[in-house]
Amino acid sequence: MKTVYFDNNATTQVAPEVTEAMLPFFRELWGNPSSMHAFGGRVARHVEEGRAQVAELLGASPDEIIFTSCGTESDNAAIFSALQTQPSKRHIVISCVEHPAVLQSAAYWERQGCRVTRLGVDAKGRIDMDEYEFALSADTALVSVMFANNEVGNVYPIREMAEKARERGILFHTDAVQAAGKVPIDLATLPVDMLSLSGHKLHAPKGIGVLYVRRGVRFRPFIRGGHQERGRRAGTENVPYIAGLGVACRLARESMQDELTRVAALRDRLEQGIVSRVPDCIVNGDTEHRLPGTTNIAFRNIEGESVLLMLDRLGICASSGSACTSGSLEPSHVLHAMGVPFKYAHSATRFSLSRYNTQEEVDYTVEHIPAVIETLRKLSPFKD
């Protein structure tokens, strides 16, 4: 059975060009890039090439790019540094729909005595800008708001939020893990101080991430040890993955227009096909400002895990917007914050597309979804 993969917000297929770019560092160029000899120096040049490719995707300078292990590390490092370099400030502003990497890090610092403001969202998952401005104070060390939401795909007004923080001398960090490579980001003009991304969300392998730190922003290392990354992140460089990430960033830059047009059109075809054929379903999130490949659809009176299991039998990979896999029918923190009614929230299903998806896959899914939902509604214990 052919696999139809619509779970790209969870992880993406490694691009064939990325795999090819990584292979030499397992076979011929295995040297340590921090070594003094010429063999290590040859490897180091590839690290810097990867750094330059990442910087070009983001509109940054190569010396502003720090390689990490993942987006979670980058998020934690940004929050840690902001608090450590400003010991007199003990306030963090985040949104209530952040990824757990930010939510849990903020909760940790709250237990250490910091004050955390969690901005609410409306029914479409949008942040109230008046509430945001009111939250900013002289004691605020950092604002950390995601560029785009992993569950419903909302793209947030990061430029406006970062500008308001900068006016008050407050550092601004954005988790751009879901946005990088999918929507344009130009840090030459976007006034954020720190930004996180993760390679496996843009067709690079798992295990490589980036933290962008704007030149001039004070930074305190999260991981200490050797002198790697100009003393900003210790640990021997993961050369094959850095090289792969560089190629993935180049490919993302080259395919950006395809992402914004063809992939968005496929998402719309999938979404409209399902909504037009299945009664009593809703689309969650801000459909005017969202990622080109993400749609989150909820079906009334169905349990989400059952949807995923039946789709899986058809070879269709999607993900749930609820915590069903943990044995709970409680909706995700994002849908809960949005106030999505329980009869819909517990069945929310996220379809996330990439440039490797096709119209044939979309049409196959649209063809089979109505029967899946009809069958599950007949079996469902949930009733009006």
Give catalytic residue positions: 324
Neighbours of 314 (CB within 10 A): 17
Alpha helices in 5-97 (DSSP H): 16-22, 24-27, 38-58, 71-84
Query: What number of H helices and E strands is found in the chain?
Result: 14, 13
Question: How far, in Å, are 4, 81, 251, 294, 370 from residue 199 at the CA level?
Answer: 22, 22, 12, 18, 35
- Are 74 and 62 a contacting pair, CB within 8 Å? no
Residue 101: closest CA among 180, 171, 198, 193: 198
Cβ-based neighbours of 27, under 8 Å, separated by 6 or more = none
Residues 194 and 173: their CA atoms lie apart, in Å, by 5
- Are 244 and 209 a contacting pair, CB within 8 Å? no
Return the axis-axis angle of helices 71-84 and 100-111, rounded to nearest 10°.
30
Instruction: Identify the residue whose tokens are 């006034």.
Output: 191
What the block records as the tokens of 77 is 């490092």
Q: What does residue 199 show for φ and ψ, rounded to 5 degrees?
A: -60, -40
Dihedral of CA 102/107/108/109: which sign?
A: positive
